[in-house]
Chain A
């Protein structure tokens, strides 16, 4: 590997989103003819880093140099032109267009001003062949392809642009084992052709097989850079640990034996996203869902809440099997379930409507008599909630969109508490809110549990899982890989099991599907 002149270099890159620091003076050096792996836990800054490289977001400070010249990218198209092509985790394919249309989308071949369909077909076939996906028909519509095929198209599309630096962000997450093997061959060939590859993956075995060089990110900084294979898995996990502890958590009450099981799942499976999941949550218990982002946690919560169709397996409430057909059914009657969604802007709130209206939506049936809303009862309940959660608002009749992120999230939670739910599902509720509000939410969660609620809590922040949960179930590929109880919940154990590394006795404890 010729390391004399780096192809691409980032120096002192910082980026903030609102008050949240995503990258802090990060550096990265990329050399041609090598595969460079980037590691880090959720929120370590990897995604922001590559978004900056690919021209999707602009850095607040810092410089980027390509071939020794300083560059900046105003758009993804500008980065493409400079030879930097990124295969994003969220697919960038256009569903209603054909595979060939998509592959040439950024620079279609033209004749007499019109797209030359024959040339397009040829380019597409070549690119698919290079990506090892000749089985995909260039005329097929992208929306008709399964996810793993789409990811192969995405790779072919990137190759058709003749990149000098190719970034793969979790590009293999949806692929089958056979496809992964093909993609690896392709990547190794590209490396020998002199491309620089940046490879972001949570799969340690993939990194071990592919990478020449590794860089670990933590808290928005690059903390270590080393040649691949020079550190053990455990050393890597140690490098990834070290999050700054800034939260104060309420004390846990410790094990209570007598409580009854409220929510239970037996062998729950759905499409290829949930794989034979069994779990139970007792009254007064906070059970965490851990693991890397996108391993089925969100789907699991949606399954409980009656959003998914075609579930197999059983859901039991108070030990009795139930079938939950909709969120209305989940929240009403004796089930009494509430889901605090992850994206409060689309799934939690009607932003232009008032705080008052948003608070009462989920409880309107309880507040009305013969279909007419009892304003006095509504006001009483709303006052209770605003007091309980200390929602800071200039009034109940201003649009909820005018509140700060933390207070918006409190409104979402208060809205569901108005129904006095017995089962509370939380989907990463603290994402993007300030530390003060986070702490209030931790206190609230514990208070609700003490009052007898059963809580299932998904968080991408391991610190929260350690601080808040009585038990944590770690998901990987849609299955529960490990259950951590009490003192076992450590950052090391969480990260190791999230990466599905079996070390230090980290084998599956409670065989809930493998």
Chain B
């Protein structure tokens, strides 16, 4: 077999998510009253990148065969923080951004420490920490409010050269600065190895703990970047419980659509990004076809079910039924 075929096999999940997204977005923009214009793309991008950041965060943890149910709450907490801190002069704003990102890192590190060194199941640990993060968000913003450095916000949510959505460029930069180095580092590989077969990884002398810890920590950072962008879009901070939870659940959906295996060890954040963009487009599609918005959850659910079922076909080839349960 040729090298490119292996590449194709490796990227199948990502390419499939990319394909789904392109098809859906093509249908969407073809039926949009304004057509495929810079404005339409910018609006879609701004809605999509928030979930894309949170989905990237979720990917890192899912790769280690864990799950992070606190990403949505880190997203909410950092949104509330940013609405206090990312304001004022350039220097003050820069400090605020660093503080918000630092908080995200810290939240992720706490999750990682509890899961890895406390040996708690990720699902339980992150439900608990998620509640704590939301509690802190509520203390920061008992009622919605606050503001943000609007120059920075407008710059990062507008368009470069009048056509390229700045939020998409930011997403690309984050992918290059966070995801690419992680996935190609020894610790990134350790995270994959731990997710695929922790015993084999241990027997091979892989730094499992550091790999997993880094994955959880960077997940916190990515969720915080999402929270920062939320503030840029809304100009306010709000401790919204429903929205935080929705982001957590949608991030899992996006990850699955993006070809990342919930069993761990397989998938890429790029796929999850396209999964997130595709998932967002479902809502937009309903809009252009004049469906009642009430249909949205139903449609999202159906699309998700179809996508997940595709992954289950492999089970038909299993010859020892005990392997179903592995």
Q: Could you list which residues of chain A lie within 8 angstroms of chain B, going by C-beta atoms?
A: 56, 75-77, 80, 88, 91-98, 101-102, 105-106, 108, 110, 113-115, 117, 137, 139-141, 157, 270-271, 299, 302, 306-310, 326, 347
Please state if B3 and A139 are interface contacts (CB–CB under 8 Å): yes
Stretch at the interface among B26-34, B155-163, B183-191, B303-311: B183-191
User: Provided the pairs A80-B205, A94-B201, A96-B192 are in contact, do residues A115 and B184 lie with their beta carbons within 8 angstroms?
Assistant: yes
B198 → A minimal CB distance (Å): 9
Is B119 in the interface zone, CB < 8 Å from A? no
B23 at the interface (CB under 8 A from A): no
Asked if B277 lies at the interface with its beta carbon under 8 angstroms from chain A, I say no
Answer yes or no: B294 CB below 8 A from chain A CBs.
no
B200 touches A94 (CB 8 A): yes
Q: Do the beta carbons of A88 and B203 come within 8 Å of each other?
A: yes
Is B320 touching A76 in the complex (CB atoms < 8 A)?
no
A262 to chain B, nearest CB (A): 24
Contact B205 A97 (CB under 8 A): no
User: Can you list 21 A-B pairs with a CB-CB distance of less than 8 A?
Assistant: A93-B200, A94-B265, A95-B200, A97-B196, A98-B10, A105-B193, A105-B201, A105-B206, A106-B206, A108-B186, A110-B186, A113-B185, A114-B185, A115-B184, A115-B186, A117-B184, A271-B319, A302-B322, A307-B321, A308-B320, A310-B319
The interface residues of chain B lying within 8 Å CB-to-CB of A157 are 204
Q: Can you list the 10 inter-chain pairs with the closest CB atoms, starting with the nearest?
A: A77-B205, A96-B265, A139-B6, A96-B196, A92-B203, A106-B205, A114-B184, A94-B193, A94-B196, A96-B266
Q: Is the CB of A95 within 8 A of B196?
A: yes
Q: Which residues of A contact B322 (CB under 8 A)?
A: 302, 307, 347
Q: Are B205 and A76 in contact (CB under 8 A)?
A: yes
Contacts of A77 in B (CB 8 A): 205
Find the residue from B6, B199, B202, B265 having the highest chain A CB count within 10 A. Answer: B6
Bound form: Cα–Cα A323–B131 in Å: 53
Chain A nearest Cβ from B209, distance in angstroms: 12
Most chain A CB inside 10 Å of its own CB: which residue of B6, B7, B205: B205
- If A108-B189, A115-B189, A137-B1 touch, does A307 touch B206 (CB 8 Å cutoff)? no
- Chain B positions within 8 Å of A, measured between CB atoms, are 1, 3, 6-7, 9-10, 181, 184-186, 189, 192-193, 195-197, 199-206, 261, 265-266, 318-322
What is the CB-to-nearest-CB distance from A32 to chain B, in angstroms, rounded to a whole number?
23
Residues on A with C-beta less than 8 A from B192 are 94, 96-97
Complexed CA–CA distance, A304 and B1 (Å): 39
Complex CA distance for A487 and B232, rounded to whole angstroms: 86
Complex Cα spacing A310 to B200, Å: 29
Bound Cα distance from A113 to B319, whole angstroms: 42
A140 contact set on B, CB distance < 8 A: 1, 6
- Chain B: CB-nearest residue to A112: B181
Q: A88-B203, A97-B193 are in contact. Are A307 and B320 (CB under 8 A)?
A: yes
Contact A91 B321 (CB under 8 A): no
Interface-centre pick from B200, B201, B202 (highest chain A CB count, 10 A)? B200
Bound together, the chains give a CA A102 to CA B192 distance in angstroms of: 11
Q: Which residue of B lies closest to A157 (CB)?
A: B204
Which residues of chain B come closer than 8 Å to A141, judged between CB atoms?
9-10
Bound together, the chains give a CA A106 to CA B211 distance in angstroms of 13
In the complex, are the beta carbons of A115 and B185 less than 8 A apart? yes
Contact B203–A95 (Cβ < 8 Å): no
Contact B320 A309 (CB under 8 A): yes
A108-B186, A115-B185 known; A91+B200 contact, CB < 8 A: yes
User: Within the complex, which residue of B181, B206, B321 is in contact with A326, where a contact is CB–CB below 8 Å?
Assistant: B321
- Smallest beta-carbon distance A156→chain B, Å: 13
Across-interface contacts of B10 in A (CB, < 8 A): 98, 139, 141
Q: How far is the CA of A97 from the CA of B6 in the complex (A)?
A: 12
Q: Report chain A residues within 8 Å CB of B189.
A: 97, 101, 105, 108, 115
Q: Report Cα–Cα, A442/B195, bound state, in Å.
A: 43
Contacts of A94 in B (CB 8 A): 192-193, 196-197, 200-201, 204, 265
Q: Contacts A97-B192, A106-B206 hold; do A114 and B181 have CB atoms under 8 A apart?
A: yes
In the bound assembly, the distance between CA atoms of A307 and B199 in angstroms comes to 25
On chain A, the residues within 8 Å of B184 by CB distance are 114-115, 117
- Give the residues in chain B near A299, CB-CB below 8 Å: 320
16 A-B pairs besides A98-B10, A114-B185 with CB distance below 8 A are A94-B193, A94-B200, A94-B204, A95-B197, A95-B265, A96-B192, A101-B189, A105-B193, A105-B205, A106-B206, A108-B186, A113-B181, A115-B186, A137-B6, A139-B6, A307-B320
